[in-house]
DNA sequence: ATATCGATTATCT
DNA sequence: GATAATCGATATG
């Protein structure tokens, strides 16, 4: 059923990152592998604006690393950080205008066993696969969700989220979000007081402060 | 529950 | 040569 969901159209991403970050909550990130489908519901995002946002990678202009942010909307921007982790973003706004949204946390929906294996944390028993504290370690945090989905810069940077043939998609399964909270972004020093972090109120898989 | 710290490397100054 | 949109382990209240 997930496999039959159509990805969100490119136009969905062709607007202000704040709008996209908010609208993405409740949607699914879908990864198709030769073993099966991995999917997680987006429960936490952060908006990164263009050249006017000191915390954004695009702040100092286009480089070999961040060029995707300056390109057309709906494209995966993956970067490597702290020598250890990948982080997954989607580009926003039309070609020539920088902007993006960072995926900060997902709620595991499908392919949980495979995601646990990718994270290197094997369940002790099958009961663990439904245990909230076990599930939270899978995709609660930007580095974690990238690892769970097997996302790397080498494989996934520049991938088209909106293409029906892409193995990395964002789809709408009709889930409706009740309430959204907005707070400052996490893990940055510049522009650290701008309220650009969005999450689903009360969701257990949100990373960081839940107020 | 909150705080601090080390890991480890692509990228930019 | 310094930095970084993080994580996991360890220490302390």
Answer for the pair A39, A59: CB distance below 8 angstroms, yes or no.
Answer: no
User: A93-107, pLDDT tens digit by residue?
Assistant: 999 999 999 999 999
In the structure, how far is the CA atom of residue A4 from the C1' atom of nucleotide C9, in angstroms? 42
Q: What is the mean pLDDT of residues A27-44?
A: 97
Domain ranges of chain A: 2-200
Average pLDDT score, chain A? 95
Supply the angle between the helices A112-119 and A142-149 in degrees, to the nearest 10. Answer: 110
Q: How far is the CA of A157 from the C1' of B4 (A)?
A: 33
Strand C lies under 7 A from the Cβ of residue A137: yes
Q: What are phi and psi of A144, to 5 degrees?
A: -65, -45
**Strand B nucleotides below 7 A of a protein CB?**
7-13
Of A89, A46, A49, give the one whose Cα is nearest residue A68: A89
**pLDDT greater than 70 at residue A69:** yes
Question: Predicted confidence band at A37 (pLDDT cuts at 50, 70, 90)?
Answer: very high
* Average pLDDT value for residue range A70-81: 98
Q: Report the nucleotide nearest the CA of residue A85, measured to C1'.
A: C6
Is the pLDDT assigned to residue A126 strictly greater than 90?
Answer: no
Helix (H, G, I), strand (E, B) or coil at A153: helix
Nearest amino-acid residue to C7, taking CA and C1': A143
Q: How far is CA A98 from CA A16, A66, A181, A193, in A?
A: 10, 9, 25, 21
- In angstroms, the CA A180 to CA A25 distance is 8
Start-end of H helices in chain A = 17-24, 67-70, 112-119, 132-139, 142-149, 153-156
How far apart are alpha carbons A89 and A156 in whole angstroms? 11
- C1 C1' to A170 CA distance, Å: 40
Quote the CA–CA distance of A97 and A104 in Å, as a whole number.
23
Q: What's the CATH class of domain A2-200? A: alpha beta
Q: Look at residue A87 and give its three-state secondary structure.
A: strand
| A55: CB within 7 A of chain C nucleic strand | yes
Compute how many other C-beta atoms are within 10 angstroms of the C-beta atom of residue A175: 13
């Amino acid at each position: 059923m997930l496999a039959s969901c159509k990805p969100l159209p490119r136009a969905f991403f062709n607007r202000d990152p704040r709008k996209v970050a908010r609208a993405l909550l409740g949607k699914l990130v879908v990864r198709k592998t030769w073993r099966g489908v991995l999917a997680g519901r987006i429960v936490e995002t952060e908006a990164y604006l263009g050249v006017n946002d000191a915390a954004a990678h695009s702040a100092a202009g286009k480089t070999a690393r961040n060029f995707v942010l300056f390109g057309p909307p709906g494209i995966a921007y993956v970067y490597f950080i702290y020598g250890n982790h990948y982080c997954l973003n989607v580009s926003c706004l039309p070609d020539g205008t920088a902007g993006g949204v960072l995926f900060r946390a997902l709620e595991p929906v499908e392919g949980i066993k495979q995601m646990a294996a990718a994270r290197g944390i094997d369940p002790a028993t099958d009961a663990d696969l439904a245990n909230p504290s076990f599930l939270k370690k899978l995709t609660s945090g930007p580095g974690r969700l990238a690892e769970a989905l097997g996302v790397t810069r080498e494989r996934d940077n520049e991938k088209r989220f909106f293409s029906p043939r892409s193995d990395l998609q964002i789809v709408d399964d009709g889930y409706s979000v009740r309430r959204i909270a907005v707070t400052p972004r996490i893990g940055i020093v510049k522009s650290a007081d701008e309220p650009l972090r969005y999450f689903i109120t009360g969701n257990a898989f949100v990373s960081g402060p839940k107020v």
